[in-house]
Structure 1
């Protein structure tokens, strides 16, 4: 077999592997992690391990009564527009949930504080502003609804 064919087969295999990996993890909600250098706000003593709480001052708008879907977007991001539609649709379905979209470029302090690496990134906040889960990439509607269920049921300890 010629070296050119071997290189071609390897390149195709790597491309397929990367696309499978990306589709498996893109837009999936995952647990939160300690946010580096975060200014933690309004911590409950027993919940002080690594919970970050965002406030109305951080977002510039009121939090949702039951939960908040916080989306970080950028101007030329096609998946951001689709994510906006999905989150707005879920917001209209679930009472007490608010969708807040922030331009990542205009809110670099929050982007750095929350370790946002790409757009769209969606953070699901509970009623107190604690980050319950997050997704990088375009989430699917059923995943958003499931994540909201966790946030709505989330009670600070």
Structure 2
């Protein structure tokens, strides 16, 4: 696995939680398109649809919607897949190495076993310092924190 522990405070935002579920359950929540809508968007937002091809080069499209139903598509591509331990994806590509219009970040997720639970770490690695600052202002920590709590609820129920 790639060392994701070395972070750059100028470009990276990091969220870590100890989730009361197995790494396998947490990973499944990230890789099962039927489970993603149950936790991926901070309420009252929703995920009306998610299409994912979990393999290096595989596309993902997660569409979030605000409380008014306005949709926000999030296309991307998986770069690294280590079942039950790690996922790396980016919006720099939209699948099968087709470049996106404007890359914003790469996400490195790790799922490490810890005392019967999962040490869940999400690193949002941005292309520019400005992108990191904008993501932080958009509410990265609050939004991803809410989603991590929702993720835990779903994973615990599996």
What is the TM-score when the length of structure 2 is the normalising length? 0.26
Structure having the larger proportion of residues in helix = 1
Length-normalised TM-score, structure 1: 0.26
Instruction: Identify the structure with the greater strand proportion.
Output: 2
